[in-house]
Amino acid sequence: MALASLPKVVLGSVAFAIFWMMAVFPSVPFLPIGRTAGSLLSAVLMIVFHVISPDDAYASIDLPILGLLFSTMVVGGYLKNAGMFKHLGTLLAWKSQGGRDLLCRVCVVTALASALFTNDTCCVVLTEFVLELAAERNLPAKPFLLALASSANIGSSATPIGNPQNLVIAFNSKISFPKFLIGILPAMLAGMAVNMVMLLCMYWKDLEGVAPDAAGKQMSVVEEGGRSPSVASLKSPHPFNGTTADDGNESMMEENISTKHPWFMQCTEHRRKLFLKSFAYIVTLGMVVAYMAGLNMSWTAITTAIALVVVDFRDAEPCLVKVSYSLLVFFSGMFITVSGFNKTGLPGAIWNFMAPYSKVDSAGGISVLSVIILLLSNLASNVPTVLLMGNEVATAAALISPAAVTRSWLLLAWVSTVAGNLSLLGSAANLIVCEQARRAPRNAYELTFWNHLIFGVPSTLIVTAVGIPLIGKM
């Protein structure tokens, strides 16, 4: 893509810089409006500056991704009430040898689950659970949140359904599910192991645990940059059912039975709970099977969510109100901002300049290509980077051999996905963990941009380098 006019390039870059500033520093003194409002501000500036038209702005909002996020939040809520994460906690804590062992288990479980449930889904449903798991053992939240986000990104690289950019690559490259999995699985396993070792090395002392306070009260472990919820926030009544936040896990299953369908009134409470829990597990398993069968991910998740709502036989508003709508708004603004930045031609200009040095038939060319993908994935997001570079990289590889074409697509999938770990803004999964942790009703924690960056940069560079030689070798 050629560079746009100079005013458009300058104004588009200014709007994108504001987006970055507000995402990194959501409460700057001169504009303390927060990350979500900052995303909308940048989107509006892209339109006001005529970098992108209003129609193109609406078209750039990725509704399938928003639908997937929304529905997985709903499904996650029902799974939580069905006790799935309590069982997962039992599994993670079974014969646990302390914080270090627990961190390793979080890494492994998250990486494997992300390959099947997508990284965004895992981060939506596991963030609050991981916070509570760490707090119960008086362990700091930061290592576990970093383990969750980074492992989710690495694990999602292994399958076409692991993340949105892999879906785009699988669709454009026509690589089958088994071939995709076999091509990236060795790199994913090696990357997961390296990332886990780096977390242990960086937070070895922090994972020894903290002694409870003298009063014997449950402590909310808050590090520098974190915060603890007030007592009032933990005990405030739920706006829809009159329960407190402490009763949140049971709110959807413990409402007055008189509000339910007569069929439920003829059942015992135990049978009713067993039926709802079993149904939640069955339809979620069906959702995973549908993903693997290649059905549309967004509509599959939406169908699963609405099935849970209908079978629950009650007003769904108490469940829907728990959805993080601010996160959905943030992503909408981000899509418009990134689309406008792409229209300036700057990302395309970077590729056009570096393309002659990015051949996949040499170690040097692969290194240059990987650096380009890393930079663009963090500047313009990984999905736009894949859309921008996919066909260009494949066309260049076709001049070498058909095998080089397949490997180039798999390299693009691996690097663009792991690149998400570089910074907090590198992937949707990171932002989900950050926002979910900040909004958690208990043990809330503010994972800052710099806290993430300190671990993300070395992890991304090393994991990417370790995985590249293993791509397409099986």
pLDDT tens-place string over residues 303-332:
999 999 998 888 888 888 888 888 889 889
Biggest distance spanned by C-alpha atoms of the chain: 72
Statement: residue 34 has pLDDT above 60: yes
Cβ proximity of 430 and 325 under 8 Å: no
Percent of the chain beyond pLDDT 70?
A: 85
For the ranges 185-194, 272-281, 401-410, the maximum mean pLDDT occurs at 185-194
Report the alpha-carbon distance of residue 457 to residue 419 in Å, rounded.
9
Question: Quick one: tokens of 341?
Answer: 């930045």
More confident residue, 255 or 61: 61
Report the alpha-carbon distance of residue 155 to residue 164 in Å, rounded.
13
What pLDDT is attached to residue 268? 67
Question: Quick one: tokens of 136?
Answer: 């119960």
For the ranges 100-104, 186-190, 261-265, 391-395, the maximum mean pLDDT occurs at 186-190
What pLDDT is attached to residue 346? 83
Statement: residue 33 has pLDDT above 90: no
Question: Quick one: tokens of 362?
Answer: 């040499």
What pLDDT is attached to residue 375? 85
Statement: residue 265 has pLDDT above 70: no
**Torsion from C-alpha of 135, 139, 145, 148, nearest 10 degrees:** -100
Report the alpha-carbon distance of residue 72 to residue 124 in Å, rounded.
7
**31 DSSP 8-state letter:** B
pLDDT category of residue 264 using cuts at 50, 70 and 90: low
What pLDDT is attached to residue 144? 94
What pLDDT is attached to residue 162? 86
Statement: residue 118 has pLDDT above 90: no
pLDDT category of residue 267 using cuts at 50, 70 and 90: low
What is this structure's pTM? 0.71
Digit-coded pLDDT (tens) for 216-225 = 333 333 333 4
More confident residue, 261 or 471: 471
Instruction: Give the lowest-confidence range in 105-119, 152-166, 243-257, 448-462.
Output: 243-257
Burial 431-457 (b: 16+ CB within 10 A, else e): bbbbbbbbebbbbbbbbbbebbbebbe
Statement: residue 418 has pLDDT above 70: yes
Question: Quick one: tokens of 318?
Answer: 């108490």
What pLDDT is attached to residue 256? 40
For the ranges 32-36, 118-122, 196-200, the maximum mean pLDDT occurs at 196-200
Which own/partner pairs from 435-439 qualify as long-range (CB within 8 Å, at least 24 positions apart)? 435/35, 435/324, 435/326, 435/327, 435/330, 436/123, 436/124, 436/127, 436/128, 436/324, 436/327, 437/127, 437/128, 437/131, 437/141, 437/145, 439/324
Cα distances (Å, whole numbers) of residue 42 to 14, 56, 83, 237: 9, 15, 40, 36
Statement: residue 59 has pLDDT above 70: yes
What pLDDT is attached to residue 385? 78
Percent of the chain beyond pLDDT 90?
A: 28
Cβ proximity of 407 and 397 under 8 Å: yes
